[in-house]
Chain A
Amino acid sequence: MSLLNVTNLTMDFGGLRALDNINITVHENEIVAIIGPNGAGKTTFFNCITGMYTPTSGDILVNGTGGKTHRINGLKPNKVTEKGLARTFQNIRLFPDMTVLENVMIGKHCRTKASVIGAVFRGSETVQEEYEIVESSYELLRKVGLENSVNNLAKNLAYGEQRRLEIARALATEPVLLLLDEPAAGMNPHETKELDELIVRIRDEENIAILLIEHDMKLVMSLSDKIVVMDYGKQIAQGTPTEIQNNPEVIKAYLGEDFA
């Protein structure tokens, strides 16, 4: 079953066409990678499907939480998250002055319901809910390997840890599809390898499909079921890692004329 179905997506900024007729489908349990040079429009694509930008035209359909199909163009970001899409950011956007645990607890917000009244009276239902939030958030932190920094402030984490915290926070929203924007940027080879394992684990253990933007070719080739190549807002190729590796147009666009 397809989770995400993007057809003819186009996005203009004034005169600039940042996305030109993009078509991407992501199926259950799939890992799909988007690659392309800087400025190709990859992040813009993420922003369009997560409701940060309203696309100029095209359709974005999600078979999300609850099993119904929703058209999510122009929906607010929080509504998109409720439908089961969660993302990380290319430039890390954590809540710097909150603790690591609290950052993840925020992710639980849209799956819980305590109100102002509930918070003041703190009835047994609210207490139970809080308890579950703390426990499941801690569980997620263990999963990404941050169990030793639970009560540190997010801003005091190392760079690679911050990236992993962003993933944990996104997982806390209980998504069906996780969107990762350059998760390995700034990581050393060892950290990248751990990230590789983490992504596979998320897919296998949680049954979450993954759409990722990445420049690290080794990571992309080893992880992906399918790769989409973008250049200047256009989708220039799509296929399995082997197909992409042997596609002359991709080699030309991505690696430069010399390799062709």
Chain B
Amino acid sequence: MEYFLELLLGGLTRGSIYALIALGYTMVYGIIGLINFAHGEIYMIGAFTALIIASVLTILGFNHLSILVLASLVAVIYSAAYGFTVEKVAYKPLRSAPRLSPLISAIGMSIFLQNYVLLAQTSDFMPFPNLIPDFDFMEPYAHVIGSSELVILLTTAAVMMLLTVLIKFTKIGKAMRATAQDKSMAMLVGVNIDRVISVTFIIGSSLAAIGGILVASHIGQINFYIGFLAGIKAFTAAVLGGIGSIPGAVLGGIVLGCTESFATGYVSSDYEDVFAFTLLVLILIFRPAGILGRSTTEKV
């Protein structure tokens, strides 16, 4: 029972990170119908920026809390800036191009960003400082859930709520929903599409950065390649929940996280990633609309 609980909480932790990244995929897909292949790299850049800032601040002798706050803030800002720039450089000029062109451009961007970090920094794994302190009150439960897992769960929940409020109630949120439903109609009623797309990329990238910081601090090391696998898994989560749907991304993340956790816990850990990929292939083949998505007839 305790083992089960441990696996469940591990799955939830994993799942909420997938959900954070999956939101970026889903929001971008909802608005411009593009699988933003470079999204995983934005997450990696978020983690790297946090690592660099945190290390500099540590060496300069800042205290723990200010390092956590500053490093996270800078990382989120930078990831948002990268997301924004990637859209402007690689996707915006291709808005009226055939469907596969922006996807190829996105793959190129992803490879470019990976190698950019590889060349500018290092190809080795870098130790990531543990930014999340160990809480004393968590001591009795340490065998099922650690402090950083708790922080991950709480942060994710808070971020989700904030996002929901933003999308439901603010003006830009409404514009985003309108654009997702019908781009040309939204344009007609005066929505600035370029701005909506930029904001979508900025929000998605910020969420990915938060995910990046949480994971890196939880696992304790990062390299330039972490975005690839995380990206694919988060995309799986987004598709699992129904791509384009925000609650779907969260649900998909949790389902994927738990599946992985139980499969590695009860079956075998050798094939951890094979489970995720197999799940991805199976959903896309048998239920491409996902759990919460509806299948529609393409209009001819």
Interface residues of A (CB under 8 A from B): 13, 43, 47, 52-53, 89
Report Cα–Cα, A53/B299, bound state, in Å.
9
Would you call A89 and B297 a contact (CB within 8 A)? no
Chain A residues with CB below 8 A from B297, complex form: 13, 53
Within the complex, the shortest CB–CB distance from A61 to chain B, in Å, comes to 22
CB-CB under 8 A from A43, the residues of chain B are 300
Q: Which B residues are in CB contact (< 8 Å) with A13?
A: 297
Q: Separation in Å of the A39 CB from the closest CB of chain B?
A: 12
**Interface residues in B271-300 (C-beta closer than 8 Å to A):** 297, 300
How far apart sit A43 and B299, CA to CA, in the bound complex (Å)?
A: 10
A53: nearest residue on chain B (CB-CB)?
B297
Minimal Cβ-Cβ distance residue in A for B297: A53
Cα(A190)–Cα(B133), bound, Å: 81
A102 CB, nearest partner CB in chain B, Å: 18
Interface size on B, residues (CB 8 A): 2
A89 to B299, CA, bound (A): 12
Q: What 7 pairs across the A-B complex have the smallest Cβ distances? A: A52-B300, A47-B300, A53-B297, A13-B297, A89-B300, A43-B300, A53-B300
Q: List 7 A-B contacts (CB under 8 A).
A: A13-B297, A43-B300, A47-B300, A52-B300, A53-B297, A53-B300, A89-B300
- CA gap between A95 and B300 in the complex, in Å: 15
Report Cα–Cα, A43/B297, bound state, in Å. 14
| A89: chain B residues within 8 A (beta carbon) | 300
List of B residues within 8 angstroms of A52 by Cβ: 300
CA distance A77 to B285 in the complex (A): 21
Q: CB-CB < 8 A to A53: which residues of B?
A: 297, 300
* A90 → chain B closest CB, angstroms: 9
Nearest chain-A residue to B298 (Cβ)? A52
CA distance A89 to B300 in the complex (A): 8
Query: What is the bound-complex CA distance between A53 and B297, given in angstroms?
Result: 8
Q: How far is the CA of A43 from the CA of B300 in the complex (A)?
A: 9
**B108 CB to nearest chain A CB (Å):** 22
Residues in A with CB closer than 8 Å to B300 are 43, 47, 52-53, 89
CB nearest neighbor in B for A181:
B300
Task: Report A89 CB to chain B, min CB distance, Å.
Answer: 7
A16 to B72, CA, bound (A): 49
How distant is A73 from chain B, measured CB to nearest CB, in Å?
A: 15
Residue of B nearest to A89 (CB): B300
Please name the residue on chain B nearest to A96 by beta carbon. Answer: B98
- Please report the C-alpha to C-alpha distance between residue A13 and residue B296 in the assembled complex, in whole angstroms: 9
- Kindly provide the distance from the CB of B185 to the nearest chain A CB, expressed in whole angstroms: 15
| Residue on B nearest A97 in the bound complex, by CB | B98
* Smallest CB gap from A46: residue in B: B300
A88 CA to B297 CA, complexed, in Å = 20
A13 to B300, CA, bound (A): 13
Closest residue of chain B to A47 (Cβ to Cβ) is B300
What's the Cα separation between A122 and B300 when bound, in Å? Answer: 37
How far does the Cβ of B177 sit from chain A's closest Cβ, in whole Å? 19
Closest to A90 in B: B300
B182 to chain A, nearest CB (A): 16
Q: How far is the CA of A16 from the CA of B203 in the complex (A)?
A: 35
- Nearest CB in chain A to that of B294: its residue: A14
With both beta carbons as reference points, the residue of chain B lying nearest to A54 in the complex is identified as B297
Cα separation A47 to B298 with both chains bound (whole Å): 11
Q: Which of B234-284 contact A (CB under 8 A)?
A: none
Question: Nearest Cβ in chain B — how far from A21, in angstroms?
Answer: 20
User: With A and B bound together, what is the CA distance between A52 and B300 in angstroms?
Assistant: 8
- Shortest Cβ gap from A18 to chain B (Å): 10
B155-197, CB under 8 A of A: which get 1 and which 0?
0000000000000000000000000000000000000000000
Q: Compute how far the CA of A89 lies from the CA of B297 in the bound complex, rounded to whole angstroms.
A: 17
B36-65 contacts to A, CB under 8 A, are none
The distance in angstroms between the C-alpha atoms of A5 and B297, with both chains bound, is: 25
CB distance from A40 to the nearest CB of B (A): 15
| Distance between B252 CB and nearest chain A CB, rounded to angstroms | 23
Q: Complex Cα distance A111/B297, Å?
A: 29
Q: In the docked arrangement, what's the CA distance between A13 and B295, Å?
A: 11
For the complex, give the distance between the alpha carbons of A13 and B299 in Å: 11
**Chain B nearest Cβ from A154, distance in angstroms:** 15
Instruction: Give the shortest distance, in Å, between A98 (CB) and chain B (any CB).
Output: 14
B contact residues around A47 at 8 Å (CB): 300
Q: How far is A53 from B296 in the complex, measured between Cα atoms in Å?
A: 11
A141 to B249, CA, bound (A): 52
**CA–CA, A201 to B300, complex, Å?**
28
User: Measured between C-beta atoms, what is the minimum distance from A15 to chain B in Å?
Assistant: 12
Least Cβ distance of B295 to chain A in Å? 11
Q: What is the 8 Å Cβ interface bit string for chain B, positions 25-45, against chain A (1 contact, 0 not)?
A: 000000000000000000000
Cα-based distance from A83 to B244 in the complex (angstroms)? 39
A28 shortest CB reach to chain B, Å: 27
**In the docked arrangement, what's the CA distance between A47 and B297, Å?**
11
Interchain nearest-CB distance for B90 vs A (Å): 23
Q: Tell me the minimal C-beta distance from A91 to chain B in angstroms.
A: 9
Bound together, the chains give a CA A52 to CA B299 distance in angstroms of 9
Q: A52–B297 Cα gap in the complex (Å)?
A: 9
